[in-house]
């Protein structure tokens, strides 16, 4: 049985850094992690969607988890995404990262296959049965075509190691529906950047974020204000961040976040194919948003 955990706060979905030859730059990835920890984030997601999990080999995923865990140095929890095509592969990964010292699993439904509700629930229970690590269920139907509904979540309440839900459907009503069905059985996390104020006021205790890789201090300040019941005071900060928060809802969010990271000097925009770095109008759009944000950043510095 997993130990009792309380995951709260801002958890950046850490980017995986690459060399020009497409190999993983572990030193640069660890540099990203150390900077985020120094900036006061509350936890880290290794090998999530923004970490390009699906573009990594099985061995690379494990190496990235180990590198991020080492860089975090026990200061914050490191949760790793589990994005596998089969139950057996997900079970093997869960066992392996537990041995590597991961603090938890962020478990997606089976990748590629559009599974039935019964199959998804069975998949979650099977993976939970092979590891003592606490688990966060990850629901992102726009990206992964499988919707983990509140009714399905209700079927997981008897699995002791499942402790949290990352809700990325974009439908903020889901938070209320989940609370009505399961009360406070699971910790609820916002998984979509541009609804953080709304979901925070509805009870989200954590935020798994893409843009917090770019502006960790401002994102942490925003989340803290919302959780403290000061959403109205946080509105100027939310409005300032919103054009960039929308990037997290795009299909090319990884490229967008990495380009923003590079502009801030926090990482490289290099992605692993089939993802390609932004060009033309799309690149100009992101660069323009960042230019505006940086030019007006001083205006929101005193909001707290």
Annotated binding site for pyruvate: 208
Q: Tell me the domain boundaries of the chain.
A: 9-300
Q: How far apart are CA 196 and CA 172, in angstroms?
A: 10
Measured in whole angstroms, how far is the alpha carbon of residue 255 from the centre of its chain? Answer: 15
Q: Is 88 a catalytic residue?
A: no
Segment 243-293, tens digit of pLDDT: 999 999 999 999 999 999 999 999 999 999 999 999 999 999 999 999 999
| Burial (0-12, 13-18, 19+ Cβ within 10 Å), 155 | middle
Q: What residues contact 230, with CB distance under 8 A and at least 6 apart?
A: none
| Given 69, 93, 144, 166, the catalytic residue | 166
9-300 topology per CATH:
TIM Barrel (3.20.20)
Asked if 15 and 51 count as a contact pair (C-beta separation under 8 A), the reply is: yes
CA angle 147, 41, 162 (to 5 degrees): 35
Q: pLDDT tens, 120-139?
A: 999 999 999 999 999 999 99
Catalytic residue among 138, 144, 238, 258: 138
pTM of the complete model:
0.96
In tens, the pLDDT along 279-303 reads 999 999 999 999 999 999 999 998 9
Q: Is 166 a catalytic residue?
A: yes
Strands (E), the chain: 9-12, 44-46, 78-82, 104-107, 135-139, 162-167, 187-190, 206-209
């Amino acid at each position: 049985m997993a130990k009792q955990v309380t995951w709260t706060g801002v958890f950046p979905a850490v980017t995986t850094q690459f060399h020009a030859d497409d190999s993983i730059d572990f030193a640069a990835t660890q540099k990203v992690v150390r900077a985020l920890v120094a900036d006061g984030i509350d936890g880290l997601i290794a090998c999530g969607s923004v970490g390009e999990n699906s573009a990594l080999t099985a061995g690379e995923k494990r190496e990235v988890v180990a590198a991020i865990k080492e860089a975090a140095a026990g200061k914050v929890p490191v949760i790793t995404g589990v994005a596998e095509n089969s139950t057996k592969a997900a079970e093997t990964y869960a066992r392996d990262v537990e041995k590597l010292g991961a603090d938890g699993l962020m478990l997606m439904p089976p990748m590629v296959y559009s599974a039935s509700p019964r199959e998804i629930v069975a998949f979650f229970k099977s993976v939970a049965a092979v590891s003592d690590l606490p688990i966060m269920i990850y629901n992102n139907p726009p990206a992964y075509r499988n919707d983990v509904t509140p009714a399905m979540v209700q079927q997981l309440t008897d699995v002791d190691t499942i402790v949290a839900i990352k809700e990325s459907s974009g439908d903020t009503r889901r938070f209320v529906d989940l609370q009505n069905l399961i009360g406070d059985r699971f910790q609820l996390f916002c998984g979509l950047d541009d609804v953080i104020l709304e979901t925070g006021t509805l009870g989200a205790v954590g935020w798994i974020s893409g843009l917090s890789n770019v502006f960790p201090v401002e994102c942490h300040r925003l989340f803290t204000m919302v959780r403290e019941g000061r959403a109205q005071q946080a509105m100027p900060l939310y409005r300032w961040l919103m054009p960039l928060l929308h990037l997290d809802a795009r299909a090319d969010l990884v490229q967008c976040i990495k380009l923003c990271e590079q502009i801030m000097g926090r990482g490289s925009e290099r992605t692993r194919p089939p993802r390609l770095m932004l060009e033309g109008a799309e690149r100009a759009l992101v660069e323009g948003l960042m230019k505006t944000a940086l030019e007006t950043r001083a205006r929101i510095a005193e909001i707290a």
